Structure 1
Amino acid sequence: MARLGTILLTLLAGFLLSASRALAADHVVGGSVWSIPPSADLYSAWAANRTFLVGDNLVYRFEIGFYDVVQVSRREYEDCTTDDPFRTSRADPAVVPLDAVGVRYFVCSVGNYCSLGVKLYVTVQNPH
Structure 2
Amino acid sequence: MALVERALVFLMMVAAFQVSHAAVHKVGDSAGWTIIGNIDYKKWSATKNFQVGDTIIFEYNAKFHNVMRVTHGMYKSCNASSPLSTLSTGNDTIKITNYGHHFFICGIPGHCQAGQKVDINVVKASPAAAAPTPSSSAMASQVPPATVPLPAPSPNNAASFIVAKGFALPLLALALSSYA
Write out the 4+ residue segments of structure 1 that deviate beyond 4 Å after TM superposition: none
- Asked if 1:36 corresponds to 2:43, the answer is no
Distance apart, 1:53 and its partner CA = 0.3
Q: CA RMSD in A?
A: 1.8
Tell me what 1:52 maps to: 50
Tell me what 2:83 maps to: 85
Per the normalisation by structure 1, the TM-score is 0.78
Name structure 2 gaps, 5 residues minimum: 1-15, 128-180
Q: State the distance in 1 between where 2:26 and 2:94 align.
A: 11
Distance apart, 1:57 and its partner CA = 1.1
Q: State the distance in 2 between where 1:76 and 1:94 align.
A: 21
Tell me what 1:67 maps to: 65
Tell me what 1:26 maps to: 24
**Residue 95 of structure 1: which of 93, 96, 117 is its match?**
93
Name structure 1 gaps, 5 residues minimum: 1-15
Segment drifting more, 103-112 vs 117-126: 117-126
Counterparts in 2 of 1:19 and 1:45: CA distance versus 1, 3 Å: closer
Identity of aligned residues (%): 26
Per the normalisation by structure 2, the TM-score is 0.56
Q: State the distance in 2 between where 1:61 and 1:87 align.
A: 17
Q: State the distance in 2 between where 1:92 and 1:29 align.
A: 12
Q: Partner letter of residue 28 of structure 2? A: G
Aligned length: 110
